[in-house]
Structure 1
Amino acid sequence: MAEPQPRTANWVLATLITMFGAVMLVATVEGGRADSALLFVVLPTLLAAVLALTPGRTPHGRVFVTTTIALLLIAVALHEGAICVLVAAPLVYAVAHGVTALIRWAGRSRRTGLAILPLPLLLLGGFEGVDQDLRIQPDQSSQVTRVVALTPEQVRARLTAGPQPVAVREPVLRLLQAPAPVHVAGAGLTPGDRWMFGYGATSHGSGGHIVTEVSAAAPGRVVFAVVADSTITSRWLRWRAAEVRWHATADGRTAVTVELAYRRRLDPSWYFGPIQDGLLHEGAGHLLDMLDLR
């Protein structure tokens, strides 16, 4: 059966939606909120709505092609690495094709109101992150515990010596080509001591550095505050603090825990929250490698 041809009203609506989507995209990027859910949810929703209203036999095919083009253009405009776009792509495709399916069902069903009911809710949820007051649990933390064949005194000695750059072992971080320190300066566990992590340029952007300072220290525990952060990772998260704890185990070894506290800058939370938590868990493991605690 041939697809029904859109009426003049459909084209007017599609044009208005396209113009609105373009304005919202420009406003989002210019306002420094290109990391909000508006870009990853609202934009594909509007795009899918427009394409679903245009004539043709394969709406989902048009949505796929156009969404792919949009993702590539976003990668160029925002200078994101290809892997970053791939991480966000499942969410964008799911929203775009889901909205397309709803609109097509609404066009064939007599229950149009019921079919399009999820759309306003989806658009409303898509504004998460546009304003700091419209965020869900942006402050997160990730931790990893590793048991090493060292005494607590030996662990403290290695922590006091400070970290050194090492090759990334974690498969996920290697696959994503995640930025990692290439030169490190500083040592010590006394309050006021500083560690500096320098990053080289990657496909994600220029390097930069992170400066941390020991803010508290006690037997078996040291806390670092973040003094400065000019790295590319600051586009995705803001470091808040880091803590290292260690204690002897019953078998004569030592359990070392690294906890990284940060503020997530990508939304929506239900999608990017678990992703960043997993990546930072791997990052904490890499920090233990840098401290020679393997």
Structure 2
Amino acid sequence: MRLNPVFEKELRMFERSVKISWVIFVYNFILACVALIIFYEMLNSYQYTGSIEYENMIQIYIVMAYIQFAMLILIIPGLTAGAISGERERQTLDILLSTQMKPWQIIIGKLQSSLSIVLLLTITSMPIVSVIFIFGGIKLIDLSILIILLVVEAVFIGTIGLLFSSAFKKSTTATVLTYAALLFIFLGSYLIVQSSYIISQAQNAGLENTTVDIKGVIYVLLINPMITFSGLISRQAGNTDEILTICNKFGDYNDDLIVKYWVIISMSIQLALSVLFVFIAQAKINPLRECKLFKKRSRNKKASSANT
């Protein structure tokens, strides 16, 4: 199977870069420190109680999962937001477009290079995360589902960065707008639901025995990776369903099918949006698109001059 040429070039650059080694070291060092701190607390409590609380092992899994998710949010936008705009700044984008590769192949290659770093960090952290299997509580299937979710979220966040990187010429502008868009998705989506609930409460303030219902507005949170991630982790840890708890703050969603299958539906929607973002990004860098626009403008000018 032939690798994407852009992806292959990025891999060779990663092999020669010392930064990747340091990123892997720092990433795993943080995870190891967190695991050692929790283990120390377990041994410290054992000296006083004479028993080990195995719930702390689940806590290790939860903390490590959130650290991985946080690192993903911080790393992926920085990599993808400058992927295309960086080529423009180095004046190498025209060279890529002059090859036999299509614009969407360039976008996919850049996305693959970003995902490879996520997979590399996830795989190298497996020896640390697998410590929890010694004591049980988390199954291998749970860890596999977590990795799949992390990859899906990486694709979703990465395509947002590529979209802004394709739309703007400066990497700084694309990076700032990418983080701003993520802030809106993470925080803004929740504020939209909260505002809708407050408005609905105000409208039903004078009515008795009425339940505040924001209807389908709650489904805006389906594009929020944090809600989906926290819901999956809470289910795997055997705690209360975090997604149902959040949704029930804005109404009664105990029998709602979308809330019941929230994780799968949310991942599907985010993947569909990722495909849309890739399509828009490749259209932004497509030189044929500019040629068509130029031809239309020239035809309009000729038509207007002929009329005059």
Q: Output the TM-score relative to the length of structure 2.
A: 0.29
- More strand as a share of residues: 1
Higher RCO by CA contacts (8 Å cutoff, separation 6 or greater):
2
- More helix as a share of residues: 2
